[in-house]
Amino acid sequence: MSTLPVIAAVDGSDDSLRALDWALDAARRRRAPLRVVHVRQYAAWAQPDVPVAGPPDPDEDPALERARARLRERGEGDGTEYVGVEGVPGAVLPGLGAGAQLLVLGSRGRGGFASLLLGSNGLAAARDAGCPVVVVPRPGRQVHGEAPEERGPRVVVGLHADGPDEAALGFAFTEAALRDARLQVIAAYQWPAQIWAAAPEVLVPPVIDQVAAESEIRGLAEGLLAPHRERHPRVRAEAHVVPGDAAGHLVAASRDADLVVVGRHRRRLPAPVRMMGSVTQAVLLHAASPVAVVPPASPQD
């Protein structure tokens, strides 16, 4: 059985070349082939009399040539496949995931608004691709929070103890194993608890012991991590149970991290207005490290 490739989506921009570097490293770690794809946008609807010439020649594509040059600088490129296709990137890129084990792209590309932190193509791929999508941010993105106490390779993953995402957890453990990195598991819970008890004349907040609540969530988290620890005994996974906003904690933990992993949870809206969950989108927009968005193991639409 052939190994599915790691795909780097490029467009000639510096952002996409950073994504290419990340994809090259990921392909090496997975011992997988690297495929470099440029989706060249066309506007056939604006030029009805111009015949469609077919997909662009990879040997005459400036974006692919810049990618080749980048790999040659690093003494790489042998065995790399270069593919040029025409179409609307936001529609074509998600489809590439059907034939890949990983799709990697930059947070911004050519065109669009420079003030946006995540381009529409990256958002579409992270939302709809059939494989995990890694979005590589521009360097220098600032996040609030303390520097990690322990130096060294680190992968971060979000864990919802009441509704765990096994696909995201499995991907995070595998990635930590490939990188010989420790795994920081963020299990955030809402506090103060947003629950109210009815009294005869007034609504009063219930008395909830935060220590007990945290202990219960920690127990759930440890139980969820146990089978993954058995499969990856060399990965040191640490559960961090913290009160507050999950997105804020994940963004803070992205400082100096190798990767942040989040599951792809969708708001249940009909196409074409369906959107990713707010935590996933916030992490994509603000994390300082590359972010992997992992689709669920089974369809949830």
> Which of 63-72, 159-168, 187-196 is predicted least confidently?
187-196
**Domain hosting residue 287, numbered range:** 154-294
On whether residue 82 sits in a domain, the answer given is: yes
Q: What is the pLDDT of residue 121?
A: 76
Query: Distance between alpha carbon 77 and the CA centroid of its chain, in Å?
Result: 25
Q: What is the pLDDT of residue 258?
A: 96
The verdict on 204 and 263 lying in the same domain is yes
The verdict on 99 and 26 lying in the same domain is yes
The total domain count for the chain is: 2
The verdict on 117 and 183 lying in the same domain is no
Q: Domain boundary residue among 86, 106, 136? A: 136
The two structure tokens encoding residue 70: 């980048």
The verdict on 14 and 125 lying in the same domain is yes
Average per-residue pLDDT for the chain:
82
DSSP letter at 78 equals T
CB distance 29 to 179 below 8 Å: yes
> Which of 23-37, 52-66, 188-202 is predicted least confidently?
188-202
For residues 285 and 210, the model is more confident at 285
- pTM comes to 0.83
Residue whose C-alpha is closest to residue 264's, from 130, 83, 74, 141: 130
For residues 213 and 178, the model is more confident at 178
Q: Domain boundary residue among 68, 103, 136? A: 136
The verdict on 246 and 195 lying in the same domain is yes
Percent of the chain with pLDDT over 70: 77
On whether residue 148 sits in a domain, the answer given is: no
The verdict on 201 and 245 lying in the same domain is yes
On whether residue 170 sits in a domain, the answer given is: yes
Interatomic CA distance for residues 188 and 169, integer angstroms: 15
Q: Domain boundary residue among 102, 136, 170? A: 136
